[in-house]
């Protein structure tokens, strides 16, 4: 059974930084693409950033380019999202996801992401 777990959310002021972390079990971590998604109240879940299995092909949503960095440490089975220059519009629940073709999978940057964690809240105040 695939399990995904995020950590590192919190509350910051605009312009601040946070780093999210994610681990996944039940999968061979370094065989799969991973991604970060977010969902704000009243909005659909959207892709924030994705990365291929070996970490050399990151992809970012337009709203976070130049501010967020996705990277992974396969030796530690951990995915990260470094978020800098945070804005109030970044406020959302952030979800980590691993590649998988489940019925509820979301498509982004060439992969289907089907296994999501419970999410971690990020709140940015102005």
Structure tokens at 108: 């982004």
Using a 10 angstrom Cβ sphere, with 0-12 exposed, 13-18 middle and 19 or more buried, the burial of residue 23 is: middle
Confidence of residue 37 (pLDDT cuts 50, 70, 90): very high
Confidence of residue 78 (pLDDT cuts 50, 70, 90): very high
Taking only the tens place, the pLDDT of each residue in 38-61 is 999 999 999 999 999 999 999 999
Q: Strands, DSSP E only, in the chain? A: 3-7, 10-13, 18-25, 34-39, 46-51, 58-60, 68-73, 78-83, 92-99, 106-108, 111-116, 120-125
Give the SS3 label for residue 93.
strand
What end-to-end distance do the CA atoms of the chain give, in Å?
A: 40
Closest CA to 30 of 73, 89, 74, 87: 74
φ, ψ for residue 87 (rounded to 5)? -120, 155
Please say whether the beta carbons of 51 and 115 come within 8 A.
no
Taking only the tens place, the pLDDT of each residue in 57-72 is 999 999 999 999 999 9
Taking only the tens place, the pLDDT of each residue in 89-105 is 999 999 999 999 999 99
What is the predicted pLDDT for the residue at 97?
97
Confidence of residue 84 (pLDDT cuts 50, 70, 90): very high
What is the predicted pLDDT for the residue at 20?
98
Taking only the tens place, the pLDDT of each residue in 7-22 is 999 999 999 999 999 9
């Amino acid at each position: 059974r695939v399990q995904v777990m995020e950590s590192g959310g919190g509350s910051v002021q605009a312009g601040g930084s946070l780093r999210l972390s994610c681990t996944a079990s039940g999968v061979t971590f370094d065989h799969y693409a991973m991604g970060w998604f977010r969902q704000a109240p009243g909005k659909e879940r959207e892709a924030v950033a994705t990365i291929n299995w070996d970490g050399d092909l990151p992809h970012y949503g337009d709203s976070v380019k130049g501010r967020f960095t996705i990277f992974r440490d396969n030796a530690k089975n951990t995915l990260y999202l470094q978020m800098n220059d945070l804005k109030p519009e970044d406020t959302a629940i952030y979800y980590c996801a691993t590649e998988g073709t489940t019925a509820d999978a979301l498509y982004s940057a060439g992969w289907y992401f089907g296994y999501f964690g419970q999410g971690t809240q990020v709140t940015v105040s102005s």
